[in-house]
Each structure stands twice: as structure tokens, then as C-alpha cells.
Structure 1
Amino acid sequence: MARAQQLMSEQHWTRGAAAVATLTFDVDAETPILVEGRHYADQPMVMSHQSYGPDVGVPRILDLLDLMAVPATFFVPGWVAEQRPGLARSIVDRGHEVAHHSYSHRPPTSLPAGGERADFERALDVFAAQDIEIAGHRAAMWSASRETLGLVAEYGLAYDSSLMGDDRPYLVDSAHGPVAELPVHWSLDDWEQYAYLPEPRIGSVIESPVKVEQMWRAELDGMRHYGCLFNVCMHPFLTGRPGRIMALRNLIGYAKECGDVTFARCRDVAAWARADAQTPTRPLPTYDVDPAVYPN
């Protein structure tokens, strides 16, 4: 490779790969259920369904990541880290990243004025008390508000991973400076494939891991063609189950066999995107909506 091409590869956010894969795990545990109503805390079936994630799924996932020698990012709500004081440290000590995923897992768009800031800061306090360095953020339910990225920048975090404006990293300006956005999409979320509870109703279909693996392989192939970020979102209480984690193992093996996919933590991809002069800046979508046309 000519020196100019090599330099371009070193400066480009993909670092010369056809696609970059970020394996991300949202360690929500009990929080999505408590958001639906704290009375569910008295229902052992429901709560054990969720506690399976940090108690069984996370250790199993960490072992798989060790076996496959790939890094990952774990988005952890502050409440979950607080309830299980050694959890975040166990992830970091295995070479992975822990990132901010709110405190309570209440969507920012559902909170009253000042509520998002209070929730955001409370999570940061938990991680600071546990000596966990935080570089990035993902909004609960991906429901970022118009204030979210400003909070991310204000508190010195480098990136967010909640928006869907591209399939490659991009920058978003905020009142406190630019934020690297690592975009997500529902097609790469295991919640849409596996989540099911009768009450509270969090999903209605349990798909085969074989189908999910096939679907994600197809998406990875497309992203290798277009030079994208394969930012897959998984939940330990879902993907941590045996048949599903075997599908993930197969997917990782396939990506490694391709020979042109780089696995990275989100914080590293964000740093590469910030260093790449070609990374585009995209504004938050803003619309002047006529109430006569859209009254609600």
C-alpha cells in the first residue's frame, strides 16, 4: 500500500477495515420493569426474568468475549451499578468499556423539566463512587431529548449512541461542543427479536436465534460493502440465554473469518471518528410544525 493510502487508512475512522463492529450490551436488569410500575418488585417471576441478565448473562457474555478475543461496551444504568457494586468493575477488569445508560432507565423524553439532568448526574455520581471512567452515553430506550447531547458534552463525555441519522459515526453540535454519535437501529437490537413478558408486556414474539444470526450476518455483509458501523445492541437477559449466545458466537466467528471487520469499544470508535476530518456533522432534526396540519 502506498504511503498516502496508508496514511488515509490510519486517519479514517474505520482504520482501514471494511466495517467496524461494536458489540454493545445494555445491562438494564430490573429497571425497564420498574419503570412500568414499582409494584412489579413484588412479583418474583418478572424480576427474576430481569435479574438473569446481570447475574447469569453478563458472566456468560464476558467468558464468550474472552474466548473470541473481542472487546465490547456495556451500557449500565446507574441504579443497576448501585444495586450490584462489583458489576461494573468486573466488566472493566476484563478489558471492556462501561458506559452511561441513565440512572433509572426512564426515557428522557418522558421526564419533566430538570428530570433528565438529575437522572443523568445521579448515574455519574454512582460511577464516580465506583471509580469507573465514563466516556459515552446511551439514552434509555434510545429516547434522547433535545437536551441529551448537550448534557453529554457538558459533562465531558465523548460520544452518544442513541440516534439513527446515519449508519456511520457522525458529529452533532451542542451548546457545550460537538458529540460523536454512534448510530443505532432497531434491526440490530435483540429486544425486537427476543423480548417477551406477558405483564408488563415488553414484546410478543420470540424469534429463533438461527433467524437472528442470519439477519445480522446479512446486515454485516451490507455494512462491509458500504463501510459502516455494525453497532449491534444486545441485552444480557435476552442474548445471555444459551441458544442465543451460541448464535452470537457464530456471528463473531463469521465476522472474524471475513478478515476485514474490526471489533472495537465504542469509546475507541468515537475517538477515531473525532480524529477523522471526513466525519460529517449533522444537526438534530428540527421542524417548524404547523399545528393546523398536525394538531396533536
Structure 2
Amino acid sequence: MTDTWRGRAAAVATLTFDVDAETPILAHGRRYARHAMTMSHQAYGPEVGVPRLLDMLDELGVPATFFVPGWVAEQRPGLAAGIVERGHEVAHHSYSHRAPTSMSEKEERADFERALEVFARQGIEISGHRAAMWEATWFTAELVAEHGLLYDSSLMADDRPYRLSTRSGELVELPVHWSLDDWEQYAFLPQPHVGSVIEDPRKVESMWRAELDAMRHYGCLFNLTSHPFLSGRPARAMALRRLVEYALGCGDVEFLRCRDLAARAGRDAALSPREPEPPSVDADVYPVE
């Protein structure tokens, strides 16, 4: 093994699953708790999708990272521990799945720390974080570093890992992108409106395979985000399985848990730290707040 984040692989793949369950819908309004169809649509994720995907990962012999909101872990005791027992990582995905950009710094901190408390009570080691909806603020990375986590996975400034330097210390960013998220491909609900397209899983598989091949060429991080209530559905799970089988057959793709990749990237001297800060915006040029 070399001292770089990729090791000897052409590309590194991180399979990540956001186990949101009911939280993204409740974040639109707690009134949706009265909608039995909507709540059952979301509950499918932890109740059916997660077990199906865990079995698939076992059969393929690849590790994954499951980003779990604290509320979901609290409502379903044993869910997070069951994922860890299968050899995978559980990571922080807020408490409520409310976007940090909709909160004050005080509210973001309270939500963040409430999730940490849930995982601490359950004995779950937390190394990384992903903001709800990926809507991190400029304060988010500092908050993650302050609590001693190794990495964040919410930003989009690269297609390779990079290091973030904050006032609370340094952490690794494992960047994401909409093109590698199943939400844009499969999410559909009439109320609240969260998406209106249901793509053919074969088309999605082809698109993700093309992205993987390009990332093998350029030496990138294939950071795939899936949701068990979406990709846990049968045809979609089979498409994901075929994608992983293809990657394994390439012979130059390494699958890692996010925490393992972050630890490796943290040791990579070639990754120069970046300081997350907003652009300077002239009110005369952009008068609308």
C-alpha cells in the first residue's frame, strides 16, 4: 500500500446509504405524520431496504457507510448496531434531517449534538458526518472538527478527497455530487413534492457505470449516495448489484468505508488543506439578499 488516498487503485468507491426513513418528509412539516401512505413509503427504507442491501453487501463482500439521522436511530433501537455488526460504518446525518441552511448556528449545533448523544447512548462510534440534503453552512465543517470527527461528506468542490482547515482543527472532505445520488433518479411523492421522475434502473446503472469508468481514468472518488427507501426496491437493488459486480470485475477499483478512506486521505501529504469560507459579495452587484 502506498501513502496516497487511492493506494494502488485507479479509483476508490464508497457506497453510502442515507437511512433517512421518515425524517426528510417530517422536515417539510410534522403534519405529514398523519399521512399513512407517505410514512409507510419512507418506513420501507429501514424495514425492507436496509436488510435487503445488507444481504447484497454480504454476498458481494464489499463494505459500506450508512448515514443515519439521530431521530431514526432513536426511533428504531438496534438499527445502527445491526449495521455495525455486519461490518459497516454508521455515520452522523443530523438528528432531524432539517437542512443546516435553514437554521441558526445555535440551532445547527443543538441538532448536531443531539444526534451525537443518541449514538453515544447506543455505543455507536461516529467518525464522519453528512449534512441533511447536503445543505452545509460555512459553520458546519468547524462544528464537525470541533467534535473530533474525521470527515465530512456534504460538499462538491472536487471529485477527490480534500482536507479542510477550520478554527476547530482539520478534517477530510469526501465530496458528493447530484449525478451520483439516487434521489434525482427515483424520488417521487405527490405530497410533499420531493421529485417527479422515476427512471428506468437500467438507465441509472448505465449512467453510473459511465461515471465510474471516467473516474477510473481520472483517478477520482466514486462516492455513491443511495437511499434504502429508493434503491432498496427490487429492480433498483439489482441494478446497484450489477454496478458493484462490474466495478469488482474491473480489478482496479477499491471499495472502502468512508472512515477508512478519510484516515488514509488524512495521511496523504499531497492533499493541501483548504479553508472553507464564503465568497466576497458586493451588495451593489448582487442587491437581493
Alignment TM-score, normalising by the size of structure 2: 0.99
Pick from 49, 68, 92 the counterpart of residue 76 of structure 1.
68
Residue 76 of structure 2 is aligned to residue 96 of structure 1: no
* Cα RMSD, aligned residues only: 0.7
The letter of the residue matching 2:19 is V
| Structure 1 runs not aligned, ≥5 long | 1-8
CA contact (8 A) 2:105 2:139 kept: no
Pairing 1:126–2:118 present = yes
Per the TM alignment, residue 284 of structure 1 is displaced from its structure 2 partner at its CA by 1.9
Q: In structure 1, what is the equivalent of residue 192 of structure 2?
A: 200
Confirm whether residue 186 of structure 1 aligns to residue 173 of structure 2.
no
Report the Cα offset of residue 293 of structure 1. 1.2
1:1-296 alignment, distance < 5 Å: 9-296=1-288
Can you list the C-alpha shifts for 1:208-228, whole angstroms capped at 9, x where unaligned?
A: 000000000000000000110
What's the CA shift for 1:282?
A: 2.3
Shift of 1:279: 1.4
Matched AA of 1:214: S
SS at match of 1:114: helix
How far apart are residue 283 of structure 1 and its match?
Answer: 2.5
CA distance in 1, matches of 2:277, 2:138: 9
If the length of structure 1 is used for normalisation, what is the TM-score?
Answer: 0.96
Separation of aligned partners in 2, 1:245 and 1:135: 27
Amino acid at match of 1:289: V
Distance 1:257 1:109 in 2: 41
In the TM superposition, residue 160 of structure 1 has moved relative to its aligned partner by 0.1
Write the deviation string for residues 136-183 of structure 1: whole angstroms up to 9, x where unpaired: 000000011111011111111000000001000000111111110000
Give, in whole Å, the separation in 2 of the partners of 1:243 and 1:58: 15
* Shift of residue 113, structure 1, vs aligned partner: 3.7
Kindly state the Cα deviation for residue 285 of structure 1 after the two structures are TM-superposed. 4.5
Unaligned runs of 5+ in 2: none
Q: Secondary structure at the match of 2:112?
A: helix
In 1, Cα distance between equivalents of 2:240 and 2:208: 10
Aligned length: 288
- Stretches (4+) displaced over 4 A: none
Identity of aligned residues (%): 69
